[in-house]
């Protein structure tokens, strides 16, 4: 199984700061069809996960442009340029290149 | 618009079978697959299985012996059945379409 390692576990931040999340996979997420199926989610307390980024760097409809994704192969990053109050919660990465599909353990974005 | 909604019992006895339904609208099950994901209280996300648009299925090997996913395309419903429940199957169960659209989830408690 592909292991997804997210760091840090917790990210204390001040509003307006930049936030950076790391996600590393135990093997390349490049699919034989040329796509890399790496997605990022935010889960706020009591709610379903909401997709932010799909296929490494594509923002889902309605996601603010302060969110950006990058990376390739086994190393991926999500950045928030200026954290807003509604950005607080747990961020997960997901790989759906290789079965079984697997999530990272999450990074909690919280106020300092 | 695309919507998914999970339904089923909130309390199940250990050793019994869980039956959940994901009712979808805004798209056809013959055009999109549906994925099941679960989340134990306070923990991360776990992929359970998928029913592809052609009706084929793939399951998490950790659950494969206990899990089945089926559908009724005429009713726009996907069904999850999992037997031999244990207390650690207590979780919120979500269905999602192509990892982008998620239901609100249903909290299932397995009682011993």
User: How does pLDDT run across A91-107, given as a tens digit for each residue?
Assistant: 999 999 999 999 999 99
Q: pLDDT grade, residue A67 (50/70/90)?
A: very high
Kindly list the residues from chain A whose CB atom is less than 8 angstroms away from the CB atom of residue B44: 92, 103-106
Q: Does B47 contact A104 at a Cβ distance shorter than 8 Å?
A: no
Q: In chain A, whose CA is at the least distance from the CA of B4?
A: A48
> Which tokens sit at A61?
């409809």
Q: Residue range B2-10: average pLDDT? A: 96
The position carrying tokens 């307390």 is: A45
A38-56 tens-digit pLDDT: 999 999 999 999 999 999 9
Would you call B1 an interface residue with chain A, using a CB distance cutoff of 8 Å?
no
Kindly list the residues from chain A whose CB atom is less than 8 angstroms away from the CB atom of residue B35: 101
> Which tokens sit at A98?
């290789």
Which of A44, A48, A61 to mutate against chain B (most B CBs within 10 Å)? A48
> Among A66, A75, A72, which Cα is nearest to A42's?
A66
Angstroms from B60 CA to nearest CA on chain A? 6
Neighbouring-strand partners of residue B68: B81
């Amino acid at each position: 199984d592909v292991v997804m390692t997210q760091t840090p576990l917790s990210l204390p931040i001040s509003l307006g700061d930049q936030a950076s999340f790391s996600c590393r996979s135990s093997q390349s997420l490049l699919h034989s069809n040329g796509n890399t199926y790496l997605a990022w989610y935010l889960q706020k307390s009591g709610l379903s996960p909401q997709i932010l980024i799909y296929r490494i760097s594509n923002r889902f409809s309605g996601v603010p442009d302060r969110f950006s994704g990058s990376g390739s192969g086994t190393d991926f990053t999500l950045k928030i340029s200026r954290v807003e109050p509604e950005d607080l919660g747990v961020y997960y990465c997901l790989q759906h290149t290789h079965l079984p599909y697997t999530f990272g353990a999450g990074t909690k974005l919280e106020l300092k | 618009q695309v919507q998914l909604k999970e339904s089923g019992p909130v309390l199940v006895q250990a050793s019994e079978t869980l039956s959940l339904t994901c009712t979808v609208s805004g798209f056809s099950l013959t055009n999109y697959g549906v994925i099941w994901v679960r989340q134990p209280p306070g923990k991360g996300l776990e992929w359970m299985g998928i029913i592809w648009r052609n009706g084929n299925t793939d399951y998490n090997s950790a659950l494969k012996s206990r899990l089945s996913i089926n559908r009724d395309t005429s009713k726009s419903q996907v069904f999850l059945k999992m037997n031999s429940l244990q207390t650690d199957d207590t979780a919120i169960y979500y269905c999602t379409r192509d990892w982008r659209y998620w239901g609100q989830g249903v909290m299932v408690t397995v009682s011993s």
